[in-house]
Chains A and B, each alone.
Chain A
Amino acid sequence: MPTDSVQGLAAKDLVGIAPLSAGEIQLILDTAEGLLEIARRPIKKVPTLRGMTVVNLFMEPSTRTRFSFEVAEKRLSADTLNFSVGTSSVTKGETLIDTARNLMAMAPDFIVMRHPNSGAPHRLAKMIPAAIINAGDGINEHPTQALLDAFTMRRHFQRLEGLKVVIAGDIRHSRVARSNAFLLTKMGAEVRFVAPTSLMPVGVEEIGVQTFNRLEPALEGADVVMMLRIQRERQGNMNFPSVREYFDFFGLTPQRLALAAPHAVVMHPGPINRGVEIDSAVADGPRSVILEQVTNGVAIRMAILYLLAGGHGEPTSDS
């Protein structure tokens, strides 16, 4: 896909994939490529963000995303402050706005934010001058996950355009699926969503995604198979009869994976539920790139911090 190259990111924040152009996505992926090497050095640290402060504001449980951001921040020499649900005043009834005002009094340059409410980072981005990085907001977006997924795909296939990408599981509650769909369709990949009808959001065809209610037909010729976790915490009632039955119909087994292209890779944003959406033989098998995703995630988050540190563009607009 011919993509106009860009020098920097237009917005001061990264609130989602939806506002990004294809050129900006390419810039982020190219920047991450140059940052991967730092993990292999004897001294895994560069002085680039010395003197800059990052607040990690996690109002929803997270282990790998928070660790990944923290590693990225430290490798760039930024100072980090961690606010997590359970250890902060959020549990004492403070509103988002009051929390933000208090944080701003400490003059951070970045706020990495995970929040259970969709749109919370957009709201904060308009209120305060720090660069807001969305680390997952409700069922809306998880942009750094989609970027690291795309980065992992591009490293395997040297392209995104034309790739056939299956995303299967709890699509309805998945901000990962949404961000991936935005990103991959912008970059010219073919996206196939697979979910039981009860877990498929309505209207996704409008963003150019194909939908399937069974895994097998979607897997045909797929280059990438991305399995998502069933998010029991976001479901009032279970949307399928049992975990066992879910696995029988939608679990990725070696037999099902054989339907995909011979070079296909298996991805998962984690945490994986073995025997629910993915068989251990696949998760630990030779086609799995799940741990590469973790390594690549640090480079992607470093790239975002680096690019957003380069002077601030316009505040994020509604889009």
Chain B
Amino acid sequence: MTDREQVSPTRVQVLDEAGMDRTIARMAAEIVERDGGGIMLVGIHTRGVPLARRLAAAIADMSGRKVAVGRLDITLYRDDVGPWRPAHSQPVIKDTSLPDSIGGEIIYLVDDVLFTGRTIRAALDTLMDYGRPRGVRLAVLIDRGHRELPVAADVVGKSVPTGIDEDVQVRLREVDGEDGVWIGKGGSDAH
């Protein structure tokens, strides 16, 4: 597969199912190499949650280590809810599930796309209200650039240069019924 395989004039696939599996395995290897034990994976809703589970499974496959997985909903910490909400609707609140104590662990925040960095700022604030982790790192499947806040990922599956008006679509079988990453024009994503 070429780096940007053409599927339609406006939609280009940058990762297929096999490519996604390989990418996740490589990310898992990086995490194991960097921090052996004492880590925990926390997926950010929506697609960070199944990604964190897959990373944990990949880590277990290659190292035999069982890594705890949590879920984080950042809605109540977003910078576009409450007084700054532009539209007449509020994002749906999803569940957060973390172990009783997250102190002493290295936490890997896991998300599908790193874009402006605003989600990660909200995720850090959310996390700190649950405890004082030993450290926080960031693992993302796709880094598409265009940061608005000083945020950088520690583990990146694939860096994909994009135009600001382009759309990165990550689809996962747990949520969307298929695996793959596409770039296209139009629509919006809020990462």
Contacts and interface: CB of A to CB of B under 8 A. Distances in A.
Asked if A and B bind, the verdict is: yes
Interface of A: 7-8, 30-31, 33-35, 37-38, 41-43, 45-52, 76, 109, 306-307, 309-313
B4 interface: no
B95 interface: yes
Contact of B88 (A34, A43, A313): A313
Contacts, number: 71
B73 A34 contact: yes
Given A8-B90, A30-B92, A309-B83, A41 B76 contact: no
A306 B94 contact: no
Interface string B91-112: 0111110000000000000000
Given A7-B89, A309-B90, A311-B87, A49 B130 contact: no
A37 B73 CA distance: 11
Contact of B85 (A46, A50, A311): A311
Given A309-B83, A310-B81, A311-B86, A46 B94 contact: no
A20 B25 CA distance: 49
Contacts of B131: 42
A301 to B, nearest CB: 14
A186 B92 CA distance: 22
6 contacts: A34-B93, A48-B81, A50-B82, A306-B76, A309-B85, A311-B87
Interface centre among B77, B88, B93, B129 (most CB of A within 10 A): B93
Contacts of A49: 82-83
Given A46-B77, A51-B83, A306-B76, 14 more contacts: A7-B89, A8-B88, A30-B92, A31-B90, A31-B93, A34-B73, A35-B93, A38-B76, A41-B130, A48-B77, A306-B93, A309-B82, A309-B85, A310-B88
Interface of A is mostly: loop
Contacts of B75: 34
Contacts of B88: 8, 310-313
A6 to B, nearest CB: 8
Contacts of A7: 89
B90 A306 contact: yes
Interface of B: 73, 75-77, 81-83, 85-90, 92-96, 125, 129-131
Contacts of A43: 129-130
B77 A47 contact: yes
Contacts of B89: 7-8, 310-311
Given A42-B130, A46-B77, A52 B90 contact: no
B147 to A, nearest CB: 22
A46 to B, nearest CB: 4
A13 to B, nearest CB: 14
B85 A310 contact: yes
A49 B85 CA distance: 11
Contacts of B86: 311
A312 B88 CA distance: 6
A45 to B, nearest CB: 7
A7 B88 CA distance: 8
A170 to B, nearest CB: 36
Contact of A307 (B90, B94, B130): B90
A63 B91 CA distance: 32
Nearest to B94: A34
A4 to B, nearest CB: 14
A7 B85 CA distance: 13
Nearest to B129: A43
A312 B76 CA distance: 18
Nearest to B122: A47
A48 B78 CA distance: 8
Contacts of A33: 93, 95
Nearest to A30: B92
A113 B87 CA distance: 26
A198 to B, nearest CB: 45
A46 B94 CA distance: 14
Contacts of B81: 48, 306, 309-310
A48 B76 contact: yes
A50 B82 CA distance: 8
Given A41-B130, A51-B83, A52-B82, A310 B95 contact: no
Contacts of A35: 93
Pick the 6 closest A-B CB pairs, nearest first: A34-B93, A310-B90, A8-B89, A7-B89, A46-B76, A311-B88
Contacts of A313: 88
Given A309-B90, A311-B87, A45 B129 contact: yes
Contacts of A8: 88-90
Contacts of A46: 76-77, 129
